[in-house]
């Protein structure tokens, strides 16, 4: 069939935003190739989610339902996805660079005797041979490379927040029932307990305040926390981010890092405090709706992308801003 095929992620009974992002880029790739776009959904009961997926304009939504697909069992999902690929015969397969995608992607590539490119931040079609061009960070985020691999299906996992999510379409795609041939004898790993992961969800924040080397030490993040508390009274979810330098110095944990080797974000407001603006960092926050930079160096690169800039010591600016916000609240 040579479709572009994506694996849908379901979260709390609805399509995960990452799947909408895959639908967005999948539509473009399918259009460039002149082929169809398919979505594969797996679970013990995904009929409602399949209807939701169909409303975003794919040509087909393949619904794989089975009691053994409840939750996420890698063995059951892998076997089912492999069977779906053999029946659909896609030209390209896209998965989110999520825990599920990272678990299934390498094993699926091995089963299908193809190559996988992980953590892609851009995808396009080579007009000369129709192969998938996969752009991803390499060398610890210090460089970006473009990969092209022979063989089909062309397989890639895609980082979150790098593509715009698809919008609802006028027509609905066809929903196709597909019964996976799986049984308990295929299970090699048993899930004992699902523990909810506690992470810093930077990509869900309305406002992100990030600190860099210019803070001087880890105490600078306490000053940023004061600003976070003041802003949260008016701007909803406010979280603390950082540059890679701050993580390398041990001032803050890596789950706060914004950039190529951290989290890609697009908040309503991004406040960069003491961050010079290395390209690896800018790639991770350039889609922010409003960017505010505070730095003592007027020539730093962050000012080139900022909507508003303050050339001053943050230890003077931030407390003054906090005081003013408290007066207004």
Percentage above 90 pLDDT, the chain: 79
What residues make up the domain containing 209? 202-328
| pLDDT score at 198 | 64
Q: Can you tell me the distance from the alpha carbon of 276 to that of 103, in angstroms, rounded to the nearest whole number?
A: 36
Q: Which of 133, 154, 186 is the last residue of a domain?
A: 186
Residue 71 lies in a domain: yes
**CATH classification at residue 103:** 3.40.50.620
Q: Which of 186, 220, 255 is the last residue of a domain?
A: 186
Span 116-141, pLDDT tens digits: 999 999 999 999 999 999 999 888 77
Q: Are residues 132 and 266 in the same domain?
A: no
Residue 120 lies in a domain: yes
Sign (positive/negative) of CA torsion 283, 287, 293, 298? positive
Q: Are residues 177 and 206 in the same domain?
A: no
Q: Are residues 172 and 218 in the same domain?
A: no
Whether residue 324 has pLDDT greater than 90: yes
For 317-326, give one letter per residue: b (16+ CB within 10 A) or e. bbeebbeebe
Residue 166 lies in a domain: yes
N- to C-terminal Cα separation, the chain = 59
Residue 150 lies in a domain: yes
Closest by CA position to 107, among listed 43, 186, 193: 186
Q: How confident is the model at residue 172 (pLDDT cuts 50, 70, 90)?
A: confident
Q: Are residues 18 and 124 in the same domain?
A: yes
Retrieve residue 30's tokens. Answer: 């399918």
Q: Are residues 247 and 161 in the same domain?
A: no
| Phi, psi angle pair for 261, to nearest 5° | -100, 15
Q: Are residues 106 and 169 in the same domain?
A: yes
Q: How confident is the model at residue 199 (pLDDT cuts 50, 70, 90)?
A: low
Q: Are residues 174 and 43 in the same domain?
A: yes
Q: Which of 186, 221, 236 is the last residue of a domain?
A: 186
Lowest mean pLDDT among 87-101, 135-149, 281-295, 310-324: 135-149
Residue 193 lies in a domain: no
Q: Are residues 34 and 162 in the same domain?
A: yes
Q: Are residues 30 and 163 in the same domain?
A: yes
pTM greater than 0.85: no
Span 22-79, pLDDT tens digits: 999 999 999 999 999 999 999 999 999 999 999 999 999 999 999 999 888 899 999 9
Q: Can you tell me the distance from the alpha carbon of 76 to that of 131, in angstroms, rounded to the nearest whole number?
A: 30
**CATH classification at residue 313:** 3.40.50.1220
Is beta strand 154-158 parallel, antiparallel or unpaired with respect to 116-120? parallel
Domain count, the chain: 2
Residue 310 lies in a domain: yes
Complete DSSP assignment for 101-140: HHHHHHHHHHHHT--EEEEESEEEE-TTT-PEEEEEEEGG
Residue 196 lies in a domain: no
Q: Can you tell me the distance from the alpha carbon of 172 to that of 170, in angstroms, rounded to the nearest whole number?
A: 7
Q: Are residues 154 and 270 in the same domain?
A: no
Residue 195 lies in a domain: no
Q: Are residues 176 and 247 in the same domain?
A: no
For 187-207, give one letter per residue: b (16+ CB within 10 A) or e. eeeeeeeeeeeeebebbebeb
- Kindly report the average pLDDT of the chain as a whole number: 93
Q: Are residues 103 and 133 in the same domain?
A: yes
């Amino acid at each position: 069939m040579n479709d572009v095929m994506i694996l849908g992620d379901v979260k709390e009974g609805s399509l995960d935003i990452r799947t909408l992002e895959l639908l967005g880029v999948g539509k473009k790739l399918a259009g460039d190739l002149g082929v169809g776009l398919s979505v594969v959904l797996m679970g013990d009961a995904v009929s409602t989610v399949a209807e939701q997926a169909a409303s975003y304009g794919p040509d087909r939504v393949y619904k794989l339902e089975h009691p053994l697909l409840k939750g996420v069992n890698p063995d059951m999902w892998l076997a089912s996805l492999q069977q779906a690929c053999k029946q659909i015969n896609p030209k390209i397969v896209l998965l989110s660079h999520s825990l599920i995608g990272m678990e299934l992607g390498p094993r699926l590539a091995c089963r299908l005797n193809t190559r996988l490119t992980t953590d892609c931040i851009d995808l396009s079609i080579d007009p000369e041979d129709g192969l998938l061009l996969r752009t991803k960070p390499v060398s610890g985020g210090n460089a970006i490379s473009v990969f092209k691999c022979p063989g089909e299906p062309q397989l890639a996992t895609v980082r979150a927040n790098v593509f715009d999510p698809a919008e609802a379409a006028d027509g609905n795609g066809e929903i196709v029932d597909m019964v996976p041939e799986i049984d308990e004898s295929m299970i090699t790993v048993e899930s004992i307990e699902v523990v909810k992961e506690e992470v810093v969800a930077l990509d869900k924040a309305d406002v992100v305040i990030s600190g860099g080397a210019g803070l001087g030490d880890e105490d600078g993040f306490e000053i940023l926390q004061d600003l976070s508390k003041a802003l949260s009274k008016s701007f909803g979810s406010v979280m603390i981010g950082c540059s890679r330098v701050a993580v390398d110095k041990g001032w803050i944990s890596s789950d706060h890092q914004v950039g190529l080797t951290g989290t890609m974000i697009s908040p309503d407001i991004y406040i960069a405090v003491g961050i010079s603006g290395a390209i690896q960092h800018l790639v991770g926050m350039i889609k922010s709706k409003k960017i505010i930079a505070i730095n003592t160096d007027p020539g730093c690169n962050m000012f080139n992308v900022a909507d508003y800039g303050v050339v001053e010591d943050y230890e003077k600016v931030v407390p003054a801003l906090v005081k003013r916000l408290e007066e207004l609240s």
